[in-house]
């Protein structure tokens, strides 16, 4: 096999196995930062040895084996060995026994929840949202610093600093590498779900740059969500988040036109939706709803997305049910952004004037001062009401606020297309 082919295989193996590798090593050494260093050493060893020796039959196992041996060496040499010895309850040295602890045997103990431990560590609430996203993409998705920087349109040094600070924060806070207790799980799980959905949202509606979508981030978020659903099958909001992402991702092919322009939901060719993803999303929603109890925010959003998925044409959409679901979501979240989305649904169900009244009330919300979708929605409603001059001004303001250059061009183009009743541009 050519060296280039071997390197491509190594890259693919790393994407698949890196999370398990880091999780297993972190369970042994107790520190995520050190575990990633050991995993990287395994990767370097593969890059050095596989081109000559060939790719092993079990490449993931080979990487884990190298990482374990290096971890054992470090544990035997460093202070962390003493700490780990105490944690494991070895009494041999205190009793004066000659036999040393069998660290190699300890490494091989099966822990099915290593990945789950890594998820909760990378998304610990002690970290900022940016840090959680960067660390999750690095440790659980296997993305390089350069790939994360490219996806978020920031410098590599910025991403590297976020990751370094995140590891330092976890170490200084002595965050244990463990699954939260039952009492802590709801709060901690919400942090995990938020991080995964932030990754998905940046892929689905890029906040900056010249593209509307970043499919690679959507794929990573879906993979992380599905993994979490397999690890926590009894948690309804995990299935709710997966359902929401599957249903939204199903529209991806129809969201962007042939020239790269954005195609709004009601204008999309629904035959281009991915109906396999729709089916998966509806199945996940049913799993969430079957768990009973009050529906959480992700499940409610998934139920809204399901209303669109079940409507084979835009005209078939049950907007009154969507308004009712937004009512429940708004009561749960108290979010002005949710209220803005509810206003859009009200406009579709009951007409533009009631919706504009709601949007005008939301204009007083400080949290929406720089949110480009507020003037964009207001401009659309004003256009429907024939108030074109006001609509043009709102669309131009929305263009000023967005950080996405393609969105800016389209909003300005739409503003320019509107003509006042007297015919002036």
DSSP readout, 77-131? HSHHHHHHHHHTT--TTTTT-SPPP-HHHHHTS--TTHHHHHHHHHT-TTS-HHH
pLDDT of residue 184: 84
pTM of the model: 0.79
Flag whether pLDDT at 418 surpasses 90: no
C-alpha dihedral (378, 382, 387, 392), degrees to nearest 10: 50
pLDDT of residue 91: 45
Separation of CA 222 from chain center: 8
Q: What is the mean pLDDT of residues 301-324?
A: 97
Helix (H) or strand (E) holding 404: strand 403-404
pLDDT of residue 416: 92
Helix (H) or strand (E) holding 202: helix 185-204
- Taking only the tens place, the pLDDT of each residue in 99-111 is 444 444 444 443 3
Q: Which residue did the predictor score with more confidence, 181 or 319? A: 319
Query: Which residues in 236-251 are b (16+ Cβ under 10 Å) and which e?
Result: bbbbbbbbbbbbbbbb
Q: Which residue did the predictor score with more confidence, 238 or 84? A: 238
410 phi, psi to nearest 5 deg: -70, -40
pLDDT of residue 15: 80
pLDDT of residue 96: 46
Confidence of residue 9 (pLDDT cuts 50, 70, 90): confident
17-21, 147-151, 171-175, 416-420: segment of lowest average pLDDT? 416-420
Flag whether pLDDT at 386 surpasses 90: yes
Beta bridge partners of 262: 256
Q: What is the mean pLDDT of residues 45-60?
A: 89
Helix (H) or strand (E) holding 403: strand 403-404
170, 123 Cβ separation under 8 angstroms? no
Q: What is the mean pLDDT of residues 371-394?
A: 95
Contacts by residues 318-326 (CB-CB < 8 Å, ≥ 24 positions apart) = 319/345, 319/348, 319/349, 320/349, 322/348, 322/349, 323/349, 323/350, 325/300
Can you say whether the dihedral through the CA atoms of 142, 196, 304, 381 is positive or negative?
negative
Give Cα separations from 348 to 176, 218, 326 (angstroms).
49, 28, 13
Beta bridge partners of 208: 403
- Taking only the tens place, the pLDDT of each residue in 339-370 is 999 999 999 999 999 999 999 999 999 989 98
Flag whether pLDDT at 246 surpasses 80: yes
Flag whether pLDDT at 116 surpasses 90: no
Q: What is the mean pLDDT of residues 285-306?
A: 94
- Taking only the tens place, the pLDDT of each residue in 145-186 is 988 888 787 899 999 999 999 999 999 999 988 888 888 888
Percent of the chain having pLDDT more than 70?
A: 89
Q: What is the mean pLDDT of residues 206-218?
A: 82
Flag whether pLDDT at 1 surpasses 60: no
In the 8-state DSSP scheme, what is residue 180? P
Show Cβ contacts of residue 223 under 8 Å, excluding neighbours closer than 6 positions. 141
Flag whether pLDDT at 375 surpasses 90: yes
pLDDT of residue 107: 47
Flag whether pLDDT at 94 surpasses 50: no
């Amino acid at each position: 096999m050519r060296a280039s082919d071997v390197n491509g295989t190594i890259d693919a193996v790393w994407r698949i196995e890196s999370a398990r590798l880091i999780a297993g090593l972190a369970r042994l050494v107790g520190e995520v930062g050190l575990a990633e260093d050991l995993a990287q050493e395994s990767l370097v060893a593969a890059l050095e040895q596989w081109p000559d020796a060939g790719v092993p039959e079990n490449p993931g196992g080979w990487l884990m084996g190298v990482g374990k041996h290096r971890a054992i060496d470090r544990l035997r040499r460093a202070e962390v060995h003493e700490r780990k010895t105490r944690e494991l309850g070895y009494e041999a040295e205190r009793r004066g026994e000659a036999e040393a602890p069998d660290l190699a045997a300890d490494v091989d103990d099966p822990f099915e929840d290593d990945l789950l431990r890594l998820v909760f560590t990378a998304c610990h609430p002690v970290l900022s949202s940016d840090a959680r996203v960067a660390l999750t993409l690095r440790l659980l998705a296997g993305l390089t610093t350069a790939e994360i920087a490219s996806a978020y349109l920031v410098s590599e040094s910025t991403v590297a600093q976020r990751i370094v600070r995140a590891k330092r924060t976890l170490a200084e806070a002595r965050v244990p590498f463990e699954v939260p207790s039952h009492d802590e799980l709801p709060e901690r799980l919400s942090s995990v779900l938020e991080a995964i959905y932030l990754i998905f949202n940046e892929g689905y509606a890029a906040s900056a740059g010249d593209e509307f979508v970043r499919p690679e981030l959507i794929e990573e978020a879906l993979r992380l969500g599905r993994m979490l659903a397999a690890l926590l099958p009894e948690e309804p909001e995990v299935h709710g988040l997966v359902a929401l992402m599957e249903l939204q991702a199903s529209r991806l092919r129809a969201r962007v036109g042939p020239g790269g322009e954005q195609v709004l939901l009601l204008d999309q060719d629904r035959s281009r939706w991915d109906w396999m993803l729709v089916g998966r999303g509806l199945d996940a929603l049913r799993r969430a709803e079957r768990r009973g109890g009050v529906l959480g925010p992700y499940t409610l959003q998934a139920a809204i997305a399901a209303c669109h998925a079940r409507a084979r044409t835009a005209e078939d959409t049950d907007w009154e049910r969507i308004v009712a679901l937004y009512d429940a979501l708004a009561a749960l979240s108290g979010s002005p952004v949710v209220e803005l989305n509810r206003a859009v649904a009200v406009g579709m169900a009951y007409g533009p004037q009631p919706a504009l009244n709601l949007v005008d009330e939301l204009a007083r919300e400080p949290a929406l001062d720089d949110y480009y979708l507020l003037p964009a929605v207001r401009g659309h409603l004003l256009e429907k009401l024939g108030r074109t001059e006001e609509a043009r001004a709102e669309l131009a303001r929305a263009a000023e606020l967005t950080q996405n250059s393609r969105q800016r061009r389209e909003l300005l183009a739409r503003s320019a297309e509107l003509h006042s009743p007297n015919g002036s541009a």
